[in-house]
Structure 1
Amino acid sequence: MASIQKRPDGRWRARWYDDTGKERAKHFDRKGDASRFLADIDAARRNGTYVDPSVGKATLASFYADWSPRQVWASTTVTAMDVAVRGCSFKDVEFGKLRRSHVETWVKTMSLTLAPGTVRTRMNNVRAALRAAVRDKLLASDPSDGVTLPRARKAEHAMRIPSPETVGSVLRAADEWFRPFVALCAFAGLRLGEAAAVQFSDIDFLRRQLHVQRQVQRASGGEVRITAPKYGSERIVHLPDELVTMLAQHANLVGTHGDERWMFLGDRGNPPHQNTIHYWWTKTLRAADAEPTRLHDLRHFYASGLIAAGCDVATVQRALGHAKATTTLQTYTHLWPTAEDRTRTAAAGIMHAVFTAPTDSVRTTTVESA
């Protein structure tokens, strides 16, 4: 129950109880200001946006330091969240003073130097913390809600898919140990970290399958960290015969490494991390005289091949290890044939059948109208 009382010094004390039942108070020079303040408190309580004025001094940085250790996150998520919050320009602004303009300024600054996708990812990570603060009643509302983000290029324009000729020339130019690594990306769709983390026991040579169950990440000091695959995308990949043969020859001629029998070796007996692979990929591109491209583009090459062969969304999703089919569609929808494409192909097949049929086999059939 709220009340207003005049103090001996002539000021007005507005009193109310917070959500825990503790009495709170704030003083005003005028009774009308105290009344309006309590009315705002009452309205905020009714619409669920009440925030205790005494906690308004909390900041994103202080809240994140308390909140993040309690979250059940993969190590990759921890790193991404830390980077986003640490680089946030308003992390030290008190929640009671935090405005949408702070978020807009941060987004604008990021967009000057970072790719749209990176800006979006960092915004989503910081937004997760802000919304947690709202749920904890430290913020009345999310100041990032509705903030405009830089527009990313459409997938059909931004995606680079190497040609079969380019992939072939790169494979021929690759060093003996590196060739199977490139092949795992191009013909099994593995991410860089997943390919680096392959162990001999992951390969079922009889069933022609590969169990993707870990990835390599670069840690500080040049060390590596072995974690679960990205977004929990552990999966079974079905391998073509030629790739199985290449992996078997690699294990026989180059060998495996350490007690874990890593298929590929980096520094200090560890599997290679992204910097090592980037060096060898760049070197291989130069040797092949190929256009500059990312190793990750081989994953798009693999996906495009599956789609061209008629694989449906669920099949491609499982092969790539996407958590949701919507991710597959958002990334590759432009590669699937449309209804118009299928109609055009079917009509072309009909025409081909007509014009290639022997002359004496052509018959005219009269069909009665129904």
Structure 2
Amino acid sequence: MASIKQRDDGVWRARYRDAAGKEYARHFPLKRDAQRWLDEVAAAVVTGQYVDPNAGKVTWTDWTKAWMQRQTWVDGTHEAATVAVSSVPWKAGPIGAVNASHVQAWIAAELKRGLAPSTIKTRLNYVQMAFRAAVADRTIAISPAAGIKPPRARKAEATMRVLSAAEVHEVLEVAGEFRGFVEVCVFAGMRLGEAAGLQLADVNFLGRSIRVNRQVQGSTIKAAKLVPPKYNSERTIYVPGELTASLSAHVARNLVTEPDEQLFTTPLGRMWNRNSAAGEWRRIRDEVGLPDDVTLHTLRHTFASNLIASGCDVVTVQRALGHSTPSITLNVYSHLWPSAEDKTRAATADFMALTATAIPRERVSS
């Protein structure tokens, strides 16, 4: 039900009632403007895009808190989302008052204060997810973050660091009892949390393989806990006998006997967590003299780089790293695979070498 009526002061009052019988009204100086507004409301109702004007008055903080409580995320994802939605400057205001310029200004401010483009991209992704959910929930009509692009990040080939054989040797020499942890990262490509979550039963010493069944999640002693690995990251990694022999020596030295016992623990017998493992790595890195951008994750890049340099195809590398799809592997490591130009040169060089050493054919006289 809708109507337009002119008041005594000449202003046109347009009003309508929604499906619940609640009345909404706006005032316009011209009748045609009032009619246009009612037409827009009617069109939104017909197309299923109608949104209660009062729905967008809920604050961003209240709405995102309720939205996140409905998600079936693991703790790490929930923590990342919380940080993202709490970093915006409009968190105390109504969600319906946010526009595209607010989102763009937030991204520019985050970049100006030194936040990495990759971090901004992750935060923007969660903010866009929240706005899309608000649209689907009929809290707002459109997402102000739709189409907003994160700042450009440097190409992987310009930022990715891999260690040389000599650097890995130096690292292992000073690693001490953290050596086994480092070895499964650099020689099996395991993530920090996966290495921290390894138990004795996960290592098949005779079969020369390691099974990734869990990971340690959490950055502190209090928060650290064992959880399933990242989605599609459960896998068996086939490793050389030299690695299983080194791990066997570690097991004997540290008296690890129970199948469900942690393979690696801190000097105090606790599970390694993100902060403690990173701290131990910084000690090793500083002692060797490696730059600050070399992290424990650099060891995983080094593992992948070695597989690619040895001629492994993308699916083999994907499975070893525990990526859910080959496209993820290619997005991260495509620059390490030989290009078509490289393959052409190498193939022709091999052929040239063969021609240079070929034994001339015996001529047949006519």
* TM-score for both structures, normalised by structure 1: 0.90
Q: Say whether the 8 Å CA contact 1:11–1:29 is kept in structure 2.
A: yes
Letter matched to residue 183 of structure 1: E
Distance in 1 of aligned mates of 2:6 and 2:257: 80
The Cα of 1:6 is off from its aligned counterpart by: 5.8
Deviates more, 1:281-290 or 1:97-106: 281-290
Residues 85-94 or 74-83, more deviating? 85-94
1:184 is aligned to 184
| Equivalent residue, structure 1, for 2:138 | 137
Report what 1:41 is aligned to.
41
Query: Which of 335-344 and 21-30 deviates more?
Result: 21-30
| Aligned ranges 1:203-222 → 2 under 5 Å | 203-219=203-219, 222=222
Does 2:325 align with 1:327?
no
Letter in 2 for 1:147: I
Cα pair 1:90 1:103 within 8 Å, conserved:
no
Q: Which whole-Å CA distance do the structure 2 matches of 1:22 and 1:338 have between them?
A: 66
Checking the alignment, whether the CA contact within 8 Å between 1:17 and 1:24 is kept in structure 2 is yes
Q: 1:75 to 1:365 in 2, by over 3 A?
A: farther
- The equivalent of 2:304 in structure 1 is 303
AA of the residue aligned to 2:100: R
For 2:65 and 2:363, how far apart are their aligned partners in 1?
80
Q: Secondary structure of the equivalent of 1:151?
A: coil
Q: Which residue of 1 aligns with 2:66?
A: 66
* 1:155/1:334 contact within 8 Å kept: yes
Deviations along 1:123-151, one digit per CA (max 9) or x if unpaired, are: 00111001000111111111112223211
SS of 2:57's partner is: coil
- Tell me, in whole angstroms, the C-alpha distance in 2 between the residues paired with 1:57 and 1:268: 52
Which residue is equivalent to 1:336? 337
Range that drifts further, 250-259 or 294-303: 250-259
1:145-224 correspondence runs (5 A): 145-175=146-176, 177-219=177-219, 222-224=222-224
Q: For structure 2, which runs of at least 5 residues remain unmatched after alignment?
A: none
TM-score after normalising by structure 2: 0.91
d(CA) in 2 for partners of 1:118, 1:48 = 36
SS class of match (2:145): coil
Asked if the contact 2:200/2:257 (under 8 Å) is kept, the reply is: no
Taking the aligned partners of 2:324 and 2:363, their CA distance within structure 1 comes to: 53
- CA distances 1:325-355 after superposition (whole Å, capped 9, x unpaired): 1110100001111222111111111111222
Amino acid at match of 1:335: L
Asked whether the 8 Å contact 2:201–2:259 carries over to 1, the reply is no
Using a 3 Å threshold, how does the CA distance of structure 1 residues 285 and 65 change in structure 2: closer, same or farther? Answer: closer
- Distance in 2, matches of 1:148 and 1:347, equals 43
CA deviation string 1:258-296 (max 9, x = no partner) = 883101113764311122212221222233344442111
Quote the sequence identity (%): 42
1:172 is matched by which residue type in structure 2? E
Moved more, 48-57 or 245-254: 48-57
> Aligned equivalents of 1:75 and 1:218: distance in 2?
8
Aligned partners of 1:16 and 1:364: how far apart in 2? 100
- Cα distance in 1 for partners of 2:123, 2:264 equals 32
CA contact (8 A) 2:172 2:179 kept: yes
Whether 1:271 and 2:287 are equivalent positions in the alignment is no
CA contact (8 A) 2:5 2:14 kept: yes
Gapped regions of structure 1 (runs ≥ 5): none
- CA shift, 1:5, in A, is 4.8
CA contact (8 A) 1:257 1:269 kept: no
**RMSD value, Cα:** 2.4
- CA-to-partner distance for each residue in 1:182-207, whole Å, 9 max, x for gaps? 11010100011111110001112222
- The 5 A counterparts of 1:104-119 are 104-112=104-112, 113-119=114-120
Alpha-carbon displacement from aligned partner over 1:296-350 (angstroms, at most 9, x marks no partner) = 1110111011111111111111111111211101000011112221111111111
Task: Output the amino acid matched with 1:28.
Answer: H
| TM-superposed deviation, 1:222 | 4.5
Q: Is the contact between residue 235 and residue 320 of structure 2 (CA under 8 Å) also seen in structure 1?
A: yes
How many aligned positions are there? 361
- CA gap of 1:312–1:11, structure 2 versus 1, over 3 A, is same
Q: Deviations over 1:8-49 (max 9, x none)?
A: 99875534343x554432142654443222112123335554
Q: Which amino acid aligns with 2:96?
A: G
In the alignment, is the contact (CA less than 8 A) between 1:10 and 1:29 conserved in 2? no
One-letter amino acid of the counterpart of residue 187, structure 1: F
